[in-house]
Structure 1
């Protein structure tokens, strides 16, 4: 099972708001003759996706039809409906459900995954002890279709997840494969019952130990979790070649229904010992690359976020300050490894132009930054987040792009003023027509084969590292699905501006840089490179 949001699908049951009564009668007669069919959408909020968001061909749901009265008499029990094409359009596998002949109102309860043994919608058994087929245990319900009659507009079944999801992103830092690694959790209940009508989950089993599902590449461990109270922080045990290591997560108090928990851990297996470098605690957004504890423990590594000074005025973020960008800055090298930020029309409104407000970053001590008030010898002051990506007039977000921490020594001719500028313009174009484009721009002072760092001199004669290459990682959501692409350009003068020749997958860029980009996205999405989506 994979579920996806299918907005605007018209089902034979749906009655469109037509001005022509004859057309409506034809649709209603069709439902009378062939029985009820359903279409579906999934609650696509980030915190309510436990497994994924796409149906697969031949997925089956179970449907109950109840009388819309105080007794809630069951009029149809656990009728299987299948989506043959995986498009979320469900048709009965056997005998379809019909509306009552007396035209009385009814309610529908639908659930996934289907089980032919279910006869009581208030007592659905849950058993999560076997995690090998997660789509077979990812319980969801749709109870939004109430007080329906043949003449009523039907609408879509709106499915919500009743369980929780844990994703552990694993990354080897020793160069060796993690294949064969195992992950397990102890002390959790994995059995219980669900009331499909109101979503109530009742744990009913003893606490036990169970294994997480590990993908084929051993880059991700996953588990569907039963909502329940916790006595302490949730811990995960890693095992490889007879060695083990316990990881303590920040999940405490309880496991919340419908939540998705994502943790990122660097794993080093050398000399018969497992060591881990878990994700640090820091303010993060969708576009923020993973920062590990060991990175933030280095005195020269600074994680900084700049805000716009404007707050959201709509729920659920009402009153929260809107971010401008974040960066991971090295005070020894005097450059940022990456700058991450969202890009949409809101940030581009106003066309303020270049404020040229060059200055020190107020969030980092002045003596730890390069002085770039004037241009460098042989190099331009290359923005990482471009001035052109922050054009709004009613705040200081463009000024913040001129902080010295956002600059690197960059060749102007053939790069900063040519192919790199063309790529920046394309990025702005790719942000139109969608909700948000998520961008990570970075500069790396070394490569896998060249570890020698070269320096330029700032206005005070201090060293500032010269990047060996620049990169961008991009992600956007189109039609309910995420698209990703990355670019890697060596620090040299190019004779052309064909940036698409330098497109790579986000996964490839992760392997080059050692950073984990868009950690909430599945690895399959980051491995995919389809340049036609970006042309």
Structure 2
């Protein structure tokens, strides 16, 4: 099973039992027997532990221990259970477990992946030096199910699995759209071996000398991943990239240590031209689920702006932090935002109406923005985050009329028609789900046309005219823990109709066109669809 994206969480396993028919405690092969312990599993959301693509793979196996609740001694040790069809229904793989007839109260401990030889019983030895089969080293443990016997097992026995190792995911992008084939990425100077107690999930100190670990890379070398032993690290975690005889060391933003159960996602832009490898690492900035990756060079060149609402998140006993409105990456030279990223849900939608409160963005000096009090000549003042997406309060809506959110956009045939219809569809898609994540953008150049066209603002300053607009959307499917994504791209032209479906493409395709990485926390497998929702 390819479990490159497995991390953090919850597998619920329900133990079922029927009557005792006097058969031996184990090694029962009679299909008529119904009193064996079997497991069914449910896979929770993406932020929790999950199997690849929200599903188990055929013949996945786990090891299950039954312990005496009174003294912790094993009654059954490392019994293999298998889901033969990959549907998450686990049965004994030859052997199976039954509750003791005398009514002994028991605890259950389980682990994945199954390892036939556990030399120290409930101690699991980990070695992550070989990353070629991550499912063979990605240890998950469950020890929550305690105090069970025949009198209460029928109510449901849920085993909650959590990861006890760390994981690093490196998103790689070519700076010039060239091939990264042959790229090797190493994690430098970490220890690779340790032991984990299955009863308490406690890990021993990492063992042996620190070494460099070759990360697993996908076929086109756009992603590298490594399962790592949690440990203290000096300074920042370092990587080494090798391609075509060239080598480059890079510091990540990970410092201090690798924490058990944590998944670290890091993005890196790589140029393989000339005599050396040139990299542009991901910058340090405040980010949310919908925020595209910002590199160090982009953060140095452009303004990263975040606006908040006038309300705070509240809990049962306290409140903390203002609720965000939207974020953007703004070019003060071209005076347009490359993208505006924001969440969309019922909280942001209401009956405040359109304020038409056109004004400068208070986050940056007026002189760095277009003066648009009277609009553009020949173009609409096209919102990137629409006014209609922020009607929960007047202050929310007012922030959508900042000039930083505007671009010169053709009105008839684009902003007032097909683009407006797409915006309405997006609001419709946000209903009935927790949150829809949206990134709207405008690009002044294309892959083949690097010439920038300008129009004057009200002060006679140049404002870049986008050559095309885009939207990238993502929403989580609660029933499976998977994600749906789709993207749209519209050229700066007059369309004859309102059929925005003709402009649909996948998020992966949009990433190739724009050079931005959207929804970096979502696996690439969820970014390939261009089907309308």
1:362-377 to 2 correspondences below 5 Å: 362-377=362-377
1:272-351 to 2 correspondences below 5 Å: 272-298=275-301, 301-314=302-315, 318-348=319-349, 350-351=350-351
Cα distance in 2 for partners of 1:124, 1:475 equals 38
TM-score by length of 1: 0.91
Q: Which residue number in structure 2 is paired with residue 445 of structure 1?
A: 444
Q: Which runs of 5+ in 2 are unaligned?
A: 19-30
**Relative to structure 1, is the Cα distance of residues 515 and 315 closer, same or farther in structure 2, using a 3 angstrom cutoff?**
farther
Q: Which residue number in structure 1 is paired with residue 219 of structure 2?
A: 216
Instruction: Number of aligned residue pairs: give it.
Output: 513
Q: Which residue number in structure 2 is paired with residue 130 of structure 1?
A: 130
**Relative to structure 1, is the Cα distance of residues 530 and 61 closer, same or farther in structure 2, using a 3 angstrom cutoff?**
farther
Range that drifts further, 145-154 or 94-103 = 145-154
TM superposition shift of 1:449: 2.0
**Relative to structure 1, is the Cα distance of residues 165 and 53 closer, same or farther in structure 2, using a 3 angstrom cutoff?**
farther
Cα distance in 1 for partners of 2:258, 2:318 equals 23
Classify the secondary structure of the residue corresponding to 2:148.
coil
The answer to whether structure 1 residue 247 and structure 2 residue 272 are counterparts is: no
Contact 1:468/1:490 (8 A) holds in 2: yes
Q: Which residue number in structure 2 is paired with residue 494 of structure 1?
A: 495
The answer to whether structure 1 residue 230 and structure 2 residue 229 are counterparts is: no
Range that drifts further, 120-129 or 35-44 = 35-44
Q: Which residue number in structure 1 is paired with residue 416 of structure 2?
A: 417
Q: Which residue number in structure 1 is paired with residue 431 of structure 2?
A: 432
Contact 1:358/1:404 (8 A) holds in 2: yes
Classify the secondary structure of the residue corresponding to 1:57.
coil
Q: Which residue number in structure 1 is paired with residue 85 of structure 2?
A: 85
Q: Which residue number in structure 1 is paired with residue 21 of structure 2?
A: none
Contact 1:185/1:237 (8 A) holds in 2: yes
TM superposition shift of 1:251: 1.4
Cα distance in 1 for partners of 2:326, 2:122 equals 48
1:179-225 CA distance string (max 9 Å, x none)? 10111123211001000111111122221222111111100111001
The answer to whether structure 1 residue 104 and structure 2 residue 107 are counterparts is: no
1:351-370 to 2 correspondences below 5 Å: 351-370=351-370
Cα distance in 2 for partners of 1:351, 1:485 equals 28
TM superposition shift of 1:46: 3.3
Contact 1:188/1:207 (8 A) holds in 2: yes
Classify the secondary structure of the residue corresponding to 1:352.
coil
Classify the secondary structure of the residue corresponding to 1:99.
coil
Range that drifts further, 436-445 or 87-96 = 87-96
TM superposition shift of 1:156: 2.8
**Relative to structure 1, is the Cα distance of residues 76 and 324 closer, same or farther in structure 2, using a 3 angstrom cutoff?**
same
Q: Which runs of 5+ in 1 are unaligned?
A: 16-29
Q: Which residue number in structure 2 is paired with residue 510 of structure 1?
A: 511
Contact 1:329/1:405 (8 A) holds in 2: yes
1:101-136 CA distance string (max 9 Å, x none)? 122321110110001112645311101010011111
1:61-112 CA distance string (max 9 Å, x none)? 000011221x112111100011123232211111211111122321110110
Q: Which residue number in structure 1 is paired with residue 22 of structure 2?
A: none
**Relative to structure 1, is the Cα distance of residues 193 and 321 closer, same or farther in structure 2, using a 3 angstrom cutoff?**
same
Classify the secondary structure of the residue corresponding to 1:319.
strand
Cα distance in 2 for partners of 1:183, 1:468 equals 36
Contact 1:4/1:41 (8 A) holds in 2: no
**Relative to structure 1, is the Cα distance of residues 434 and 170 closer, same or farther in structure 2, using a 3 angstrom cutoff?**
same
**Relative to structure 1, is the Cα distance of residues 240 and 384 closer, same or farther in structure 2, using a 3 angstrom cutoff?**
same
Contact 2:457/2:463 (8 A) holds in 1: yes
Q: Which residue number in structure 1 is paired with residue 192 of structure 2?
A: 190
Contact 2:14/2:39 (8 A) holds in 1: yes
TM superposition shift of 1:313: 1.5
TM superposition shift of 1:8: 11
TM superposition shift of 1:432: 1.5
TM-score by length of 2: 0.91
Contact 1:50/1:138 (8 A) holds in 2: no
Classify the secondary structure of the residue corresponding to 2:173.
strand
Cα distance in 1 for partners of 2:335, 2:316 equals 39
Q: Which residue number in structure 1 is paired with residue 27 of structure 2?
A: none
Classify the secondary structure of the residue corresponding to 2:421.
helix
Q: Which residue number in structure 1 is paired with residue 23 of structure 2?
A: none
**Relative to structure 1, is the Cα distance of residues 123 and 323 closer, same or farther in structure 2, using a 3 angstrom cutoff?**
same
TM superposition shift of 1:6: 12
Q: Which residue number in structure 2 is paired with residue 19 of structure 1?
A: none
Cα distance in 1 for partners of 2:319, 2:509 equals 38
Cα distance in 1 for partners of 2:331, 2:437 equals 23
The answer to whether structure 1 residue 408 and structure 2 residue 415 are counterparts is: no
